[in-house]
C-alpha cells in the first residue's frame, strides 16, 4: 500500500480524479442568452468539434483558470486539476479519448499500440514514433514509460505521487528490439490496461523522488516537455502562463500563435470575459448567464459534467471523531435545496449522485449512498447527536463537556451562488444544533488550505478525467490516499479493497465489486458525500473550436483531443 504526503503542498490530484475549486465548478456550461429562463438542452458533449480544414492558421486564445499552480508535476500528490490542464499543453498527449471514453493512441507519438494476454499476464506493446523527442533533445522512448511507472508504482514510498492505481499492477517496463519499442508487463490479468499512461509520461530526467517531489515547484521545466506548444512564460505570482508553437514539434502544426492562461477568481473571470480579456468563461449560474446575456458574437455551450460536488469532514478533528456526529452532519443536509440554489435558472435536473466513482449513465452504477442510508432527516440527525452526548444549549447550539459543536467551513469564492449555498448549509446544520462557521478566504489559498486540512468541513469538486472510475476506488477510500483527507478510513477497509476489488480480472467484475463494497465503506466511515454532479456551462467567443481538449475540463465529457487542433473557425 502506498502512503502519500497528506499535509504538505497544494492539492491532491488523482489519475482519474481531481480537486477543483468549487466556486468555479458548481454548475456547467450552456444556459442560453436569456439567463436560462427558457428550456435548454444539456448534451453529453457540447464543445464545437471541428476538423482542422475548417480552422484558420494563426490567432491567439486567452483562457482563464482557477489557479496557476506552484506544483507543476501533474503526477505529484500536491498537484491539481489546473496543473494537469496546463501540463497538457506542453507535455506529450500519448493517448487520446473520445467523449464517450474510447481510448486511442496518438499517432504523433505511437506508431503501434497493442494489448494482449501472455502466460496469464496482461501485456502492452508500443512502438514510439521515431521523430518523437523531448525539448531537451532526449528521444522519447521506453525510458519515459519506465520512469513514469517507477514513480507511480508505490514501490518507493519516497515518491509523493497522487495515485498508484494501475501502475502498482505493472510488473515491468522494458525495451523491445530497440529503445523505441516499449513492453509493459502486468503482474497478472489486469482489468483496466488502457488506464496507465493515459495521463501522460514523465521525462526520464525526473528520475528520483527528490526531483519528482520538488523540482517542479514554481519551476515548470519547459525543457522536460514535448509537443506542439512550448511553455514560454510561467509566473506563479502574476498568475500567468503562455504557450507558443514549438519549433521542435514533428506533428500537425499547431493552429494558434499563442495561448495564454490567467489565474482568475469568479468575479474577475466574468469581468475579464466581458472586457474581451479572455475568450471563454464559466457561466454556470443564473447570475453569470445574465451578465453575458447582452453580449454579441458569443455562444453558450452546455454539457453533462463528469464531476461531483462533495462535502468532506475531517474525522481527525475532536468534534468529528464520533461516527454518529459525522452521519448526523450529513443527514442534516437538504441536498434538494442545495441543488435548487446551485441550478437556479439553469433548467437542469439529474438523478441523485449516488457514488463517488460512477455516474448513473454508466453500466453497473448503483446508488451506494442511498443503500448506506443517506437521507435528509432532521429528527434522525438530532437523535444521533443526542445519543453521542451532544446536548442543545440555550442558543440552540449543542455542547459536550463544555465545548460547543462548532465546525469551520471555508469558502474560496466571491461568487454569490457559492455564498448562498454555504449560508443554506449553515442554516441546515443549525436546525440540528451544529454551528457551521463560514470563513471566506482567498481563492489563491484553496489548494493549500485543503491539503493542509485547514478546515473541519470542506466542499469542492471531484472531477473524473476518464470513464474508469471503479479503478480509482482505493484513491477514494483507502486510508493512506492523498485524495481521501477525511481521515475516516481504516486498515480493515484497505484490506477489503485489496482483496475484494483489486483481485478482479475484468472491468465488469471489478465494477460490481466496488458497487457491492461502497455502501459498506460509507456506513463505516461517513467521511464524504456527493451532493450533485451538475451541468458544464461556458460562454465562448464565437468561432473558437475544439474546446476543452484537456482532462478535467467540461464540455466534451471524457474527451481528450490534440491541443494543436484548438483554433478559430475560418
pLDDT, tens digit (0-9, with 9 covering 90-100), for 453-493: 999 999 988 888 889 999 989 888 999 877 788 999 999 99
- Give helix 323-331 / helix 378-387 axis angle, nearest 10°: 160
**CA-CA distance, 370 to 376, in Å (whole number)?**
11
Q: Is residue 358 part of a domain?
A: yes
Q: Is residue 418 part of a domain?
A: yes
Q: Is residue 498 part of a domain?
A: yes
C-beta of residue 458 within 8 angstroms of C-beta of residue 438: no
Per the structure, how many domains does the chain have? 1
pLDDT value at residue 20: 46
Which parts of the chain have pLDDT scores under 50? 1-39
**CA-CA distance, 202 to 91, in Å (whole number)?**
9
pLDDT value at residue 109: 98
What grid cell was written down for 296? 454579441
CATH number at residue 437: 3.10.105.10
Chain centroid to Cα 84, Å, comes to: 9
Give the number of other CB atoms < 10 A from CB of residue 167. Answer: 23
pLDDT value at residue 321: 97
Q: Is residue 264 part of a domain?
A: no
If you average pLDDT over every residue of the chain, what do you get? Answer: 91
C-beta of residue 329 within 8 angstroms of C-beta of residue 314: no
pLDDT value at residue 223: 98
Residue 383: domain span: 307-532
Question: 463517488: which residue's cell?
Answer: 356
Give the number of other CB atoms < 10 A from CB of residue 406. Answer: 14
Q: Is residue 152 part of a domain?
A: no
**CA-CA distance, 469 to 356, in Å (whole number)?**
8
Q: Is residue 258 part of a domain?
A: no
Question: 500519448: which residue's cell?
Answer: 94
pTM of the model: 0.85
Q: Is residue 176 part of a domain?
A: no
pLDDT value at residue 464: 86
pLDDT value at residue 40: 64
Q: Is residue 98 part of a domain?
A: no
Amino acid at each position: 500500500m502506498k502512503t502519500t504526503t497528506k499535509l504538505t503542498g497544494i492539492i491532491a490530484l488523482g489519475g482519474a480524479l481531481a480537486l477543483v475549486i468549487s466556486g468555479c465548478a458548481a454548475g456547467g456550461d450552456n444556459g442560453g442568452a436569456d439567463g436560462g429562463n427558457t428550456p435548454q438542452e444539456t448534451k453529453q458533449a457540447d464543445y464545437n468539434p471541428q476538423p482542422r480544414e475548417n480552422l484558420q492558421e494563426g490567432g491567439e486564445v486567452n483562457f482563464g483558470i482557477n489557479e496557476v499552480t506552484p506544483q507543476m508535476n501533474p503526477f505529484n500528490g500536491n498537484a491539481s486539476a489546473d496543473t494537469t490542464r496546463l501540463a497538457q499543453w506542453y507535455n506529450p498527449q500519448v493517448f487520446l479519448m473520445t467523449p464517450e471514453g474510447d481510448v486511442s493512441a496518438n499517432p504523433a507519438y505511437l506508431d503501434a499500440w497493442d494489448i494482449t494476454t501472455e502466460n496469464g499476464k496482461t501485456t502492452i506493446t508500443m512502438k514510439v514514433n521515431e521523430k518523437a523527442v523531448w525539448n531537451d533533445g532526449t528521444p522519447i522512448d521506453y525510458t519515459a514509460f519506465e520512469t513514469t511507472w517507477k514513480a507511480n508504482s508505490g514501490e518507493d514510498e519516497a515518491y509523493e505521487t497522487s495515485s498508484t492505481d494501475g501502475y502498482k499492477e505493472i510488473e515491468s517496463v522494458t525495451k523491445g528490439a530497440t529503445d523505441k519499442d516499449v513492453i509493459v508487463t502486468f503482474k497478472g490479468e489486469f482489468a483496466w490496461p488502457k488506464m496507465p499512461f493515459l495521463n501522460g509520461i514523465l521525462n526520464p530526467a525526473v528520475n528520483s523522488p527528490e526531483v519528482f517531489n520538488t523540482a517542479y515547484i514554481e519551476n515548470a521545466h519547459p525543457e522536460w516537455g514535448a509537443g506542439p506548444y512550448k511553455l514560454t512564460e510561467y509566473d506563479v505570482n502574476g498568475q500567468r502562463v503562455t504557450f507558443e508553437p514549438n519549433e521542435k514539434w514533428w506533428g500537425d502544426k499547431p493552429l494558434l500563435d499563442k495561448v495564454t492562461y490567467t489565474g482568475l477568481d469568479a468575479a474577475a473571470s466574468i469581468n475579464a470575459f466581458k472586457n474581451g480579456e479572455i475568450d471563454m468563461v464559466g457561466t454556470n449560474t443564473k447570475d453569470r448567464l445574465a451578465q453575458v446575456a447582452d453580449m454579441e458574437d458569443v455562444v453558450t455551450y452546455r454539457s453533462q459534467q463528469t464531476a461531483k460536488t462533495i462535502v468532506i469532514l475531517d474525522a481527525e478533528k475532536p468534534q468529528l471523531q464520533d461516527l454518529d456526529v459525522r452521519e448526523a452532519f450529513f443527514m442534516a443536509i437538504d441536498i434538494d435545496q442545495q441543488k435548487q440554489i446551485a441550478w437556479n435558472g439553469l433548467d437542469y435536473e439529474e438523478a441523485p449522485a449516488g457514488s463517488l466513482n460512477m455516474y448513473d449513465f454508466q453500466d453497473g452504477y448503483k446508488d451506494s449512498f442511498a443503500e448506506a442510508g443517506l437521507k435528509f432527516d432532521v429528527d434522525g440527525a438530532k437523535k444521533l447527536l443526542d445519543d453521542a452526548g451532544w446536548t442543545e444549549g440555550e442558543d440552540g447550539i449543542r455542547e459536550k463537556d463544555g465545548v460547543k459543536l462548532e465546525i469551520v467551513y471555508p469558502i474560496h469564492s466571491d461568487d454569490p451562488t457559492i455564498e448562498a449555498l454555504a449560508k443554506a448549509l449553515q442554516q441546515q446544520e443549525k436546525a440540528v444544533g451544529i454551528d457551521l462557521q463560514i470563513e471566506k478566504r482567498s481563492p489563491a489559498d484553496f489548494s493549500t488550505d485543503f491539503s493542509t486540512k485547514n478546515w473541519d468541513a470542506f466542499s469542492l469538486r471531484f472531477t473524473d478525467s476518464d470513464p474508469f472510475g471503479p479503478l480509482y476506488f482505493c484513491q477514494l477510500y483507502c486510508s493512506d490516499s492523498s485524495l481521501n483527507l477525511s481521515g475516516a478510513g481504516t486498515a480493515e477497509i484497505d484490506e477489503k479493497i485489496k482483496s475484494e476489488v483489486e483481485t478482479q480480472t475484468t472491468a465488469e467484475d471489478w465494477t460490481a465489486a466496488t458497487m457491492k463494497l461502497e455502501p459498506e465503506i460509507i456506513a463505516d466511515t461517513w467521511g464524504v458525500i456527493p451532493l450533485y454532479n451538475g451541468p458544464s456551462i461556458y460562454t465562448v467567443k464565437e468561432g473558437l473550436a475544439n474546446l476543452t481538449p484537456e482532462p478535467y475540463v467540461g464540455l466534451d465529457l471524457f474527451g481528450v483531443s490534440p491541443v494543436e487542433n484548438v483554433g478559430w473557425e475560418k
